[in-house]
Amino acid sequence: MICIKCGLTKRGSKDFFECDDCGEFSKLVKIVFEDVHEQMEHSASIDPDSYPILRLLADSSFITSKNPQTAIFYKISDYLVSRAFTGATEVTEEELNRYVVTTRGWSDALKVFEELNLLKVRMEKYMRFLVLTDKTRKFASQYLSAEKLSDIGIRIRLAHIYAGYVLLSILNKMAYLSEESFSKSTLPYDQRPRTLWVTLMFLWSNAYRNSETFSEEELRVFVSRRRIPSATRGKIVGALHAMDGRSTQGLIKEVRIENGERKFAFDDYVMVEMQRIRQLIRERGR
């Protein structure tokens, strides 16, 4: 049998099942998406300093930003944020084609952005126009000062919050997959972003269980059991080593060697934020 979400296999009489890790992680994804969506919809500002859950989203999104299954969403996000910074209200499909090189069609990816009310697609003379919504313009407008615009790190980080929000919504769809209604039809390109799912399942679940550190070997065993290629695992480990916090992830504050083994320590804010999420889950479970 194979897990419908992460690819873990075990002996059994059925073709598919949901493993215990994925069951627990699905609950976590749903509550995090609800929390992030609330901030993105109703907060006066979308600021990772004010809302650490957005910082968690951006830091997490850096880890797999170059994965082939998810790269298109990062590239679209980066382009839309950069255009919103200039005050643009819409972009053409031709402009997007020049910036984002991909062999994939646009429809599935743009549908996710539309569902989150980040853009609207308008057709005119066989050309798609991507209209930036108030939600997207608000996202960029708080950073339109000349001083902040000159800092490329700010734009990159905001693009990763934006992309992280989009990808979290896809993971939320994945969280609702079940053995009884196993279908990928709600997912873009009929694909499960398995590398993203497995990577964040390991990282977020460890922090959620209040584990302040994890070893490279623990990560290796976890992702290998779920058939993530060794080359991909190497890229994940490399991303976790990059810790400047501006143009790279900020989940990890320290990498050290203990008893000949490389260990990673979560940043303090990650542990505090997961404590808040645990409280949210307790409150909503009452």
pLDDT digits (tens, 9 = 90+) for 251-270: 899 999 988 889 999 999 99
Confidence of residue 199 (pLDDT cuts 50, 70, 90): very high
Please tell me the pTM assigned to this model.
Answer: 0.91
CB 52 within 8 A of CB 184: no
Confidence of residue 7 (pLDDT cuts 50, 70, 90): very high
Domain that holds residue 123: 2-284
Residue 225 CB neighbours (<10 A): 15
Confidence of residue 159 (pLDDT cuts 50, 70, 90): confident
Number of domains in the chain: 1
Q: In this structure, what token pair is assigned to residue 148?
A: 């902040």
Residue 181 above 90 pLDDT?
A: no
If you average pLDDT over residues 10-37, what whole number do you get?
92
- How much is the pLDDT for 149? 45
- How much is the pLDDT for 184? 59
- How much is the pLDDT for 271? 96
Lowest mean pLDDT among 32-36, 58-62, 118-122, 146-150: 146-150
Residue whose entry in the numeric block shows the structure tokens 């896809």: 170
- How much is the pLDDT for 165? 94
- How much is the pLDDT for 58? 86
Confidence of residue 135 (pLDDT cuts 50, 70, 90): confident
Concatenate the DSSP letters of all residues of the chain into one string.
-EETTT--B---SSSEE--HHHHHHHHHHHHHHHHHHHHHHH-S---TTT-HHHHHHHHHHHHTTT-TTTHHHHHHHHHHHHHHHTT-SEEEHHHHHHH---SS-SHHHHHHHHHTTSEEEEEETTEEEEEEPHHHHHHHHTT-SHHHHT-HHHHHHHHHHHHHHHHHHHHHHHHT--STT---TTSGGG---HHHHHHHHHHHHHHHTT--EEEHHHHHHHHHHTT--HHHHHHHHHHHH---SSSS--SEEEEEEETTEEEEEE-HHHHHHHHHHHHHHHHHT-
Q: In this structure, what token pair is assigned to residue 242?
A: 């990059």
- How much is the pLDDT for 248? 57
Residue 142 above 90 pLDDT?
A: no
